[in-house]
């Protein structure tokens, strides 16, 4: 259970700092995972202590299920939005590398451009797979 309560740490001792400013991200290494997760905590607090009898539906059961579905949708939306944002960032990176690769001293950019393009395409595939997974989550409501 403890491993499920982990999140990405963007302020690791290795120098990465996601909270440097509201508009500027600093990154020096792959972020590590650690908790807590607010949506998971909320979901678990709503589902724990429930009656073990599946035939028992309390007076607020419908509202509870709607709230649980909202939590799932919020988490899924965050995943999709962040994957798409990273893909858009790679679009800009690809454009920048293409531009810089046109100059005499742009050999690094020219050589790295195929990897940027490949990574961008991989993120698009990931986004499509994530959409399919989110649809399966939505198709099995709480």
pLDDT digits (tens, 9 = 90+) for 36-66: 889 999 998 888 866 655 555 667 788 888 9
Residue 38 lies in a domain: no
Question: Angle at CA 134, nearest 5°, toward 58 and 35?
Answer: 80
Total domains, the chain = 1
pLDDT in tens, 107-127: 999 999 999 999 999 999 999
Residue 13 backbone phi and psi in degrees, to 5: -65, -15
Is residue 49 situated within a structural domain?
A: no
What domain range is 82 assigned to?
A: 63-139
Give a yes or no: residue 12 inside a domain: no
Report yes or no on 128 lying in a domain: yes
Between 1-10, 25-34, 123-132, the lowest mean confidence (pLDDT) is in 1-10
Q: Could you tell me if residue 81 is inside a domain?
A: yes
User: pTM of this prediction?
Assistant: 0.69
């Amino acid at each position: 259970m403890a491993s499920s309560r982990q999140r990405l740490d963007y302020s690791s001792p290795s120098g990465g700092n996601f909270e440097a400013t509201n508009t500027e991200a600093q990154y020096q290494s792959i972020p590590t995972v650690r908790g807590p997760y607010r949506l998971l905590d909320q979901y678990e607090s709503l589902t724990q202590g429930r009656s073990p009898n599946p035939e028992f539906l309390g007076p607020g059961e419908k509202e509870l299920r709607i709230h649980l579905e909202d939590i799932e949708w919020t988490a899924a939306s965050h995943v999709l939005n962040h994957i798409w944002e990273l893909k858009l960032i790679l679009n800009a990176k690809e454009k920048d590398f293409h531009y810089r690769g046109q100059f005499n001293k742009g050999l690094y950019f020219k050589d790295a451009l195929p990897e940027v393009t490949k990574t961008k395409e991989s993120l698009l595939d990931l986004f499509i797979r994530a959409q399919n997974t989110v649809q399966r989550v939505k198709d099995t409501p709480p």
